[in-house]
Structure 1
């Protein structure tokens, strides 16, 4: 029911599943397998799949570490959004890409749960989108040395609080890969 009365479509957003970002991610293989399942199902339902790639001083655009993991293959006609901030909307053309595709609902997967995933789900929600976080299709690395909780706790926490978000004319949801419905 997003705030966009003329945008009834859903899009799958795959955030930062790049070689260096997920090299040591918690449950890496399982998470990537779930994302792959989502991509296959989205394509079968003719749901737009949008790939997001982060870059910064340590994750240099065009480097092998910046590339999307080899287990996932963006199709040539699927948009790629390049970003330099945690929120995939900030200083990118993501909003224009979604608007041109008639998208009002986002299904979010990728990395890092406690950084770019968190920022993007909030960014989309505050911009008027319905946002579904796929509980078993996002991951993070161990950032405890910087004061963050252990990866499994960070993932569990975002899954917990996201399901209780609310705002006028918008919905927030958390569902497992098997429960994602690209038909609605």
Structure 2
């Protein structure tokens, strides 16, 4: 379905599940456990697992806050994309990594819902990728002190919005971890 030519493969895109990002995130442990399940299932299905790590602000490369949470283990053969902007495509090699592997469909999980998840979903969709959000595998911190809705509302609204997102020649959607399929081409997900 993707508008990108010769891109039949699917990848799990794990965004910013780093100590300094999810340390105080809403429902952190459940979300990280769901992401671990997705990583295992993607690997078992032969789908690529692409890791994204933010290195802006206090997330200095190779520091403890920058590291991926200990519950998740990136394999040496799985790409790690370094980013400094919310959209993981901006000034990174993500597009090249995906092109090299023939990936046209992304299954997206990680943090933070209201920044990097939304930005990367939109960035992927605008660039022609099919993009599925894993509804129970993304999270954000509580920013109500700054006027934002509570995290559970931010997450619910993002799921609602992305579940019905459409554009010509591309598919979107939001599904729970249990319903994600890592088929080479979209098969009902």
Report the TM-score range of the alignment, normalised by the length of the smaller protein: over 0.9
2:109 corresponds to 1:117 = no
TM-superposed CA distance for 1:57, in Å, is 2.3
Q: Give 5+ residue unaligned stretches, structure 2.
A: none
RMSD over aligned Cα, in angstroms? 0.7
Does the CA-based 8 Å contact 2:132-2:172 persist in structure 1?
Answer: yes
Tell me, in whole angstroms, the C-alpha distance in 2 between the residues paired with 1:57 and 1:162: 28
Alignment of 1:50-129 (within 5 A): 50-129=50-129
- Superimposed CA distance per residue, residues 113-159 of structure 1 (whole angstroms, 9 cap, x where no aligned partner): 00000000000000000000000000001011122111000000000
Partner of 1:138: 138
Find the aligned partners of 1:79 and 1:33 in 2 and give their Cα distance. 21
Q: Distance in 2 between matches of 1:164 and 1:175?
A: 11
State the TM-score, normalizing by the size of structure 2: 0.96
Runs of 4+ in 1 over 3 A off after TM superposition: none
Q: Structure 1 residue 160: deviation in Å?
A: 0.4
Q: Do the aligned partners of 2:10 and 2:106 also contact (CA within 8 Å) in 1? A: yes
* Mapped partners of 1:101, 1:58: distance in 2: 32
Q: How big is the shift at 1:105?
A: 0.2
Q: TM-score, normalised by structure 1?
A: 0.98
